[in-house]
């Protein structure tokens, strides 16, 4: 009771999530008697980060920063526009398609929201889209970032739970593409009613080839990363380091638009983002150990199974719990705390580990665009000046269709396991 009260009180008053987790964990150890338990804190804090695959995260973040600073984001947007801009609501369609391409560079929803909030949203408003609708489309597309590989959430989950990171990367491909497809179908179905404009330039093979040539250097990177990992040529960490080298080559040699000052700023931003994530992971490891010692994961699993042992019912409860927790908690913290609880429960009802991981990751990712604390909503509101309430009113149809993708992925495992099984990365 003490730990839970402190945890929610600190969250309510706005303390950083990493500090909330650490304080709650320390209070739990003090409540157990302190002394020898508190002496374990430094070791637990360090061991929570002492996992080699975690090195991939700062490398992927830095590679995305470099590619974005190089101006390749705009090239991807222009290429997407050349492909689907001729449709009614063309800029909304190209926003979704560009999100898929951009996801292969960063693996981050907030990076997608910030980049497109600064570029595509103003362009969409100038073309005749309402500000809230432009932000809603951007938010809906941004959550593809943590699903399409490389995904920082997949790295965290795979490292903590001993699940193949390459398998999780492969499992995210079809769900990520489905998220894009259903959102584009929704845009097409409502385009005439909302009077969404078309691209005045139209399209042509010459334009497509031109934009493809300009964006080729950006398109090569995710193919290279994913191909190297899935074929076993490199580990995710090695592929991430090579991605940084490639991004630097493109920015410094091919485009020659990255200087020493830019590099310093990108390194500082990467260190800041990585530091926040790693503080959350390390602090959550203390709270997680306290929960394990007190058999809380087993109590939660028993409570779920006492309701029903039907896989469909248990999966539904898991999804509902994750969506609810995601309304109020940072998704990295939620993943670190809940994965050790829910993964064994999923195994109890016979879920394949990669499939269970994708259900957990996809559920938490959708919460990035749901109020009251959806990170992508806050990023877009701060970047564009639109009110969160206005964005949410335009966003709810996208939330509904993306929830349908989540449920389809949860209940029909081939959506997430078809590619991993084809590559021998899942059972």
**Three-state SS at 128:** coil
Please check whether residue 292 lies inside any domain of the structure: yes
Per-residue pLDDT at 34: 64
Of all residues in the chain, the percent with pLDDT exceeding 70 is 96
* Residue 1 in domain: no
Tokens of residue 41, six digits: 């804190």
Strand ranges, E, within 264-307: none
Q: 30 — phi, psi (to 5°)?
A: -60, -40
Cβ pair 91, 121 in contact under 8 A: no
Closest to 284 in 3D by CA, of 13, 6, 10, 44: 44
For residue 204, pLDDT over 80 is answered with no
Q: How many CA atoms lie within 13 A of 213 on its CB side?
A: 6
Contact 151, 172 (CB under 8 A): yes
Q: Are 99 and 109 in contact (CB under 8 A)?
A: no
Answer whether 325's CB lies under 8 Å from 373's CB.
no
Inform me whether the pLDDT recorded for 229 exceeds 90. no
Structural domain total, the chain: 1
Strand (E) or helix (H) holding 242:
helix 236-249
Sign of the alpha-carbon dihedral angle for 291, 293, 297, 299? negative
pLDDT at 127 over 70: yes
The residue among 118 and 345 whose pLDDT is bigger is 345
What is the pLDDT confidence band of residue 175, given thresholds at 50, 70 and 90?
very high
Is residue 7 included in any domain, yes or no? no
Report, in this order, helix, strand and coil percent for the chain, each rounded to 5. 80, 0, 20
Match 């993306």 to its residue by tokens. 402
Integer-rounded Cα Rg, in Å, for the chain is: 21
pLDDT at 316: 93
- What value does the mean pLDDT of the chain take? 83
Cα 72–chain centre separation? 20
CA atoms 323, 171, 138, 245: torsion sign: positive
* Cα-based angle 310, 411, 395 (whole degrees, multiple of 5): 125
Residue 8 domain-assigned (yes or no): no
Q: Give the integer Cα–Cα distance in Å for 275 and 18.
A: 10
Does the pLDDT value for residue 118 go beyond 80? no
Q: Is the N-terminal amide bond of 372 cis, ω within 30° of 0?
A: yes
Instruction: Assess if residue 37 is contained within a domain.
Output: yes
- Has residue 5 been placed in a domain? no
Question: Has residue 401 got a pLDDT over 90?
Answer: yes
Residue 60 resides in a domain: yes
Nearest-angstrom CA–CA distance, 125 and 133: 9
Please give the average per-residue pLDDT across 345-355, as a whole number: 91
Tally the C-alpha atoms within 13 A of residue 345's C-alpha that lie toward its C-beta.
30
373 vs 283, higher pLDDT: 283
Would residue 295 be called left, alpha or beta, if left means φ above 0 and alpha means ψ between -120 and 50 degrees? left
CB atoms within 10 A of CB 385: 10
**Spacing of C-alpha 414 from chain mean position:** 21
427 domain-assigned:
no
Mean pLDDT of 338-348: 87
> Domain residues for 236?
16-422
For residue range 73-109, what is the model confidence (pLDDT) as tens digits? 777 878 888 888 778 888 888 889 888 887 766 677 7
Residue 82 CA to residue 47 CA, distance in Å, equals: 49
pLDDT at 31 over 80: no
CA angle (42 as vertex; 333, 299 as ends), nearest 5: 50
């Amino acid at each position: 009771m003490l730990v839970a009260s402190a945890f929610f009180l600190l969250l309510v008053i706005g303390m950083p999530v990493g500090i909330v987790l650490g304080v709650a964990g320390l209070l739990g150890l003090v409540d157990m008697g302190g002394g020898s338990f508190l002496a374990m804190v430094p070791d637990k804090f360090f061991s929570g980060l002492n996992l080699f695959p975690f090195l991939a995260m700062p490398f992927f973040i830095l590679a995305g920063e470099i590619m974005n600073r190089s101006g390749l984001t705009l090239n991807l947007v222009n290429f997407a526009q050349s492909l689907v801009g001729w449709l009614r609501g063309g800029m909304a369609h190209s926003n979704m398609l560009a999100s898929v391409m951009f996801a292969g560079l960063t693996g981050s929803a907030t990076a997608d929201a910030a980049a497109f909030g600064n570029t595509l949203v103003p362009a969409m408003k100038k073309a005749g889209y309402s500000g809230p609708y432009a932000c809603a489309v951007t938010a809906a597309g941004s959550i593809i970032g943590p699903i399409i590989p490389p995904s920082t959430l997949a790295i965290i989950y795979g490292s903590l739970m001993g699940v193949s990171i390459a398998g999780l990367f492969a499992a995210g491909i079809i769900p990520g593409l489905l998220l894009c497809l259903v959102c584009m179908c929704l845009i097409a179905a409502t385009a005439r009613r909302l009077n969404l404009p078309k691209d005045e330039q139209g399209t042509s093979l010459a334009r497509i080839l031109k934009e493809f040539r300009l964006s080729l250097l950006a398109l090569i990177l995710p193919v290279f990363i994913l191909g190297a990992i899935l074929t076993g040529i490199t580990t995710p960490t090695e592929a991430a380091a090579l991605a940084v080298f490639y991004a630097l080559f493109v920015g410094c040699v091919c485009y020659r638009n990255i200087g020493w000052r830019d590099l310093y700023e990108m390194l500082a931003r990467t260190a800041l983002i990585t530091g926040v994530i790693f503080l959350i992971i390390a602090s959550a490891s203390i709270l997680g150990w306290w929960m394990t010692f007190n058999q809380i994961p087993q109590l939660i699993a028993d409570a779920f199974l006492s309701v029903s042992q039907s896989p469909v019912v248990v999966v539904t409860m898991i999804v509902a719990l994750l969506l609810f927790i995601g309304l109020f908690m940072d998704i990295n913290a939620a993943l670190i705390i809940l994965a050790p609880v829910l993964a064994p429960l999923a195994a109890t009802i016979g879920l394949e580990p990669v499939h269970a991981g994708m259900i957990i990751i996809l559920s938490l990712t959708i919460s990035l665009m749901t109020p009251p604390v959806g990170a992508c909503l806050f990023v877009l509101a701060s970047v564009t000046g639109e009110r969160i309430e206005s964005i949410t009113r335009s966003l709810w149809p996208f939330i509904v269709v993306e929830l349908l993708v989540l449920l389809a992925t949860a209940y029909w495992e081939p959506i997430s396991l078809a590619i991993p099984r084809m590559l021998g990365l899942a059972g």
